[in-house]
Amino acid sequence: MLNIAVKACGDNWVYIHPYQNDRCWVVDPSEASCVLDVLAKKGLRPTHLLATHHHADHIGGIAALKKTFGCTVLSAEPHRIAQTDMCVKDGDTLKLGDWTITVLGTPGHTSGSVCYYAMHPAAGSMLYSGDTLFCFGCGRPFECSAETLYQSLKRLSTLPDDTLV
């Protein structure tokens, strides 16, 4: 099973990714209630919460999920995301089951924006890009120049063509 996409905060998506038995990771949990509903229905228990950046529409549910499940929170912005347990930076890797998750520093939307590149030997690869990259564009630069965001997008363009975004 790959990602479970959960609509939250109007036009945002939270991604739940089962990786081993009932374990999963959750990316950008903007709201807790909708995530808790899906976790209960699917019988999943999150071990890690991955934050791509500090905006409330991406981290609003972290505190409640961490309190409920004792998850490890990953972010590149511990000074802005108080619940951060593991401060990540470009090039860091995390092994969850058979998945290897690599942190890609992608400043532009915010100065601390990161993407998470998840690779599996059989299932392939996927990118969790937060507001750095959308289907039809990219997030606007709030704290950085357009050039900084452009360089991050250029970097993402070097990922394998079969990467699921």
pLDDT tens, position by position, 9-36: 888 899 999 999 999 999 999 999 999 9
Nearest-5° angle of CA 60, CA 93, CA 159?
90
Q: What residues have CB less than 8 Å from 92, skipping those under 6 apart?
A: 102, 103
pLDDT at 136: 67
Cβ count within 10 A of residue 122: 5
Dist. CA 10–CA 6, nearest whole Å: 11
CATH of 4-156, picked from 1.10.540.10, 3.30.420.40, 3.60.15.10, 1.10.510.10, is: 3.60.15.10
Q: Determine the Cα–Cα distance for residues 70 and 34; give it in Å rounded to an integer.
A: 18
- Model pLDDT, residue 148: 87
Q: What is the pLDDT of residues 41-85, one digit of tens each?
A: 999 999 999 999 998 888 999 999 999 999 999 999 999 999 999
Number of alpha carbons in the 13 Å side-chain half-sphere of residue 130: 36
Task: Tell me the pTM.
Answer: 0.93
